[in-house]
Structure 1
Amino acid sequence: MSDDRMIAKLEMLIALAREKHFGRAAESLGVTQPSLSTGIRQLEDQLGVKLVLRGSRYGGLTPEGQRTLIWARRIVGDARRLREEMRFSREGLSGHLRIAVIPTALTWASHLASAFRGAHPNVNFTILSRNSAEILDMLENFDVDAGISYLDNEPLGHVSTAFLYRETYAVLCRPEHRLAGQKGLDWSDLAGEPLCLLTPDMQNRRIINKAFMEAGMQPKTVLESNSTVVLASQVEEANLVTVLPDQLACRLVSGRDLAMVPLAIGEPGPSVGLVAPWQEPHTPVIRALLDAAAKVAAPQD
């Protein structure tokens, strides 16, 4: 089996471990399901071990398959870095960057992409909104090249990071709401207030829940969404109240009939930044992206 064919088979194993379904894994790679099944069997024959538990459907990886998956990710990652290095030597900085971003940091992702493309116009971007756990999974499975997520609130694993900003929070409400017009609010001011908040799978929601708990109260959540646009619309249309990072809140207030009031926090907010798989060396485009993140970052307090 040639090196290229071996790498293709390893990519099939990675896709199967990610999707846990032969059909979906084949679709994600743009191949037929029989081709994927044949490729996995050829890889098993080449390595002399059974990698996948099969019955009427996918049954998981064997212990040998789990160990092979670790090597597969390493080998496929190294091969991609080599191709990127050679393309850089031929064409300069170019390519397509895929970034997964927590919803509350999408404005920062746009800012970073604009700054980066201003310096490197031959690099294109795809920006996806995902929660923090999904971002780590996507990085591990090579579904994205980098992410923007929280840096210090939950474990990240073995990654490279570049700080972007610290979150501080604001309350969004309608201009006639009793909370509007105040210079600042405490979490206790939201007691009993009907709220619309991000869904519990979002790390931002877990941070907010913790803040309420430390204030000795439970949020009265009447609507949840994984979209900050939906939250702002519910504030405007249903007279609900939401809590969001203040920089994002500023964007959402613009052009809407909404008021924004700062929310006091007793300690520095969680840090958010660029996250990339730890590699030595990084590809030229990821090195440049980490450098760009450091240049656009807010001052650290």
Structure 2
Amino acid sequence: MLFRQLEYLVALSRERHFARAAQACYVSQPALSEAIRKLEDELDVPLVRRGRKYEGLTPEGERIVVWAQRILADRDALKDEVGALRTGLSGRIRIGSVPTASGAVSQLTGPFCAAHPLVTVEVIADLQSQDILRQLQNFEIDAGITYLHKGLPEGFQAVPLYQERYVLLITAADGLAHRTTATWADAARLPLCLLSEVMQGRRVLDELFAEAGLSPSPRVETDSVAALFAHVRTGRWASIVPHAWLHVFGVPHGMRAVPMVEPARTVPVGLVTTAREPGSVMARALTETARHTDVAAALERLPGEPGHR
């Protein structure tokens, strides 16, 4: 009964609405409300601020939710561990990724699924870096793929996967299309379509522009890498994209991808998990796959470069 009560409280914290929380837990609203009231009685503290409608959790409730998330994650990890000992790893692994690293996810899911055929994979590929760390901390995902260039807060660990570098994406008719490289100053003079400022991938670009003494003003911003390609295809815009995305989309007909220099910087991308022990058996298995998979060999060269495979 305690696990069910904790699940209901976590769902209420997430949904911030009694009816939606009940729906997420596949129970009636009265059943959810009564279970949380019983938990309040057992713990002898108020957990929910109640008025005519849900008004949030009390400070005690916020603290209990953190414990509840840990307890439920440890319960699930124990079940996975026992199941793995009996029949091999099974269940579902949840992987979060920043949008620009989706190509790296596909490099890991293949060998992971081959090694663990009873596991299904859920990929959430539109998260910001801070969302990945928060969801890991809240046990909403098992692992994340994100930037490592500024280090990680305490409580997380990482396996480096590859170095992200950047290309100027333009149409074949652009005057820079015949060049073997393009500078950040070249890019700043073009009508640019870039990722939105709230995204870590965009903040990396802004840092590189600033290093070159530049501050571009993109005319179009988006949270979708696919939208960047679509805008460049119109012939009106240029963009700067991670080279790893060329392994997903290729270089579309009529477009060119020119490596960026001055500065020619790279940014490390890696697999991040929590450092708690024993932690999620799913996360440990994916970490093991990452350590034995040469993601860099697949992603660090541009398509068509010598040595690319």
- TM-score after normalising by structure 2: 0.88
What is the correspondence of 1:146-225 to structure 2 with a 5 Å cutoff?
146-153=143-150, 155-225=152-222
- Could you say which residue in structure 1 is the equivalent of 2:306? none
Alignment correspondent of 2:66: 70
2:45 to 46, 49, 66: 49
Confirm whether residue 17 of structure 1 aligns to residue 13 of structure 2: yes
Distance change >3 Å, CA 234–CA 280, structure 1 → 2: same
Contact 1:172 1:241 in 2 (8 A): yes
Cα distance between partner residues in 1 of 2:130 and 2:53: 26
Contact 2:159 2:272 in 1 (8 A): yes
More displaced stretch, 259-268 vs 105-114: 259-268
Aligned to 1:227: 224
Name the CA shift for 1:23/1:275 in 2 (closer, same or farther; >3 Å). Answer: farther
Q: Which residue of 2 aligns with 1:30?
A: 26
1:107 offset after TM fit, Å? 0.9
Q: CA 1:172/1:133 → structure 2, altered by over 3 Å: closer, same or farther?
A: same
1:201-233 deviations in Å (ceiling 9; x for gaps): 211011112222232222221212211111101
> Which stretch of the first structure deviates more once superposed, 256-265 or 29-38?
29-38
Asked if 1 retains the 8 angstrom alpha-carbon contact of 2:251 and 2:257, the reply is no
* Residues 1:154 and 1:169: Cα distance change in structure 2 (over 3 Å): same
Cα distance in structure 2, aligned partners of 1:156 and 1:258: 40
User: Once the 2 structures are TM-superposed, how far is the Cα of residue 119 of structure 1 from its aligned partner?
Assistant: 2.0
Q: Secondary structure at the match of 1:221?
A: coil
* Aligned position for 2:304: none
1:244 is matched with which residue? 241
Name 1:103's counterpart in structure 2.
99
Task: Structure 1: state its 5+ residue gaps.
Answer: none
Q: Is 2:35 the partner of 1:39?
A: yes
Contact 1:198 1:226 in 2 (8 A): yes
SS in 1 for 2:136: helix
- The 2-side partners of 1:200 and 1:238 are apart by 23
1:100 Cα offset (Å): 1.2
Identify the range of structure 1 (25-34 vs 70-79) with the bigger mean alpha-carbon deviation: 25-34
**8 A contact 1:173–1:239 mirrored in 2:** no
Q: Is the 8 A contact 2:157 2:273 kept in 1?
A: yes
The answer for unaligned runs of 5 or more in structure 2 is 301-309
Q: Which residue of 1 aligns with 2:89?
A: 93
TM-score, scaled to structure 1: 0.90
CA distance in 2, matches of 1:111, 1:215: 33
Give the drift of 1:106.
0.5
Q: 1:206 to 1:31 in 2, by over 3 A?
A: farther
Q: Deviations over 1:170-224 (max 9, x none)?
A: 1111011122121112211122311111122211011112222232222221212
Task: Tell whether 2:137 aligns with 1:137.
Answer: no
Identity %: 39
Structure 1 residues 144 and 20: CA distance shift in structure 2, 3 A: same
> C-alpha distance in 1, partners of 2:273/2:29?
31
